Amino acid sequence: MLDAYHWLNSQSLSIAAALFALLILVNIITLWQVRAYRRRVRVFETLFKDYCGPGIEDVLEEIRRLEHENRRQIHRLEERVESIEGRLPAMLSTLRVIRYKAFPEVGGDLSFSLALLSERGDGAVITGLHGREYSMVWAKPVQAFSSSYQLSEEEQAVLRMAQNRG
C-alpha cells in the first residue's frame, strides 16, 4: 500500500497534467455541444416562427391542425375539378368562322358561317348572308359534327374545320 502511495506521490504532476488535459477536452466537447444546440434552436425558431405557442407541443398541434385543414381543402378542390372536368366536353370550346362572298353584286367577303361547338361536336352553325338589299342570319343545330338540316358548302366546310381543330 505504501508503494502505491509513493508511486502516486511521485507521479502527481503527471496525473494533474493528465486531469487538466481531460478537463480541457471535456470543456471543448461541452462548448461544441452548446454551439450545436444553439444552431438547432435557431433552425427551430426559423422553421416555426409563424406559429404561436410557447412549446413545441403547441407548435406541432398547430401544424397538425393546419395539415388536417389543408387535406379537407384539397379534397374539396379535387371534387370541384372533377365536376368541372365532367362538364367540359359539353361546353362550347371550338369556334371556327369562314367569310365568303355570297352574291356577286356585293363587294368583299361580308357573308359568314360560324361554328360554335363542344368537344363532342354539339352546338350550332350560324350563317349570315349579306346582300345589297338585305341581310339574313340563321342558326342550325349540330350534334356530333352533323346537322339534321341541309347544310351549305360553307357550313360543311366550317364544321370540317372545327372537327379537325384547324
Tens of pLDDT, residue by residue, the chain (166 residues): 677 777 777 788 888 888 999 999 999 999 999 999 999 888 877 777 776 666 778 778 888 999 999 999 999 999 999 999 988 888 888 899 999 988 887 778 889 999 999 988 999 999 999 988 889 999 999 999 999 999 999 999 999 999 887 5
How is the chain split into domains, by residue range?
Answer: 12-85, 91-163
Q: In this structure, what C-alpha cell is assigned to residue 157? A: 366546310
Task: Kindly report the number of other CB atoms within 10 A of residue 125's CB atom.
Answer: 25
Amino acid 132: pLDDT: 83
- The contacts of residue 156 (CB under 8 Å, 6+ apart) are none
3-state secondary structure of 143: strand
Q: In this structure, what C-alpha cell is assigned to residue 37? A: 444546440
Amino acid 1: pLDDT: 65
Contact 130/102 with Cβ under 8 angstroms? yes
Amino acid 166: pLDDT: 57
3-state secondary structure of 44: helix
- Residue carrying C-alpha cell 404561436: 52
Does the CA dihedral 153-158-161-162 come out positive or negative? Answer: negative
> Biggest alpha carbon distance in the chain?
138
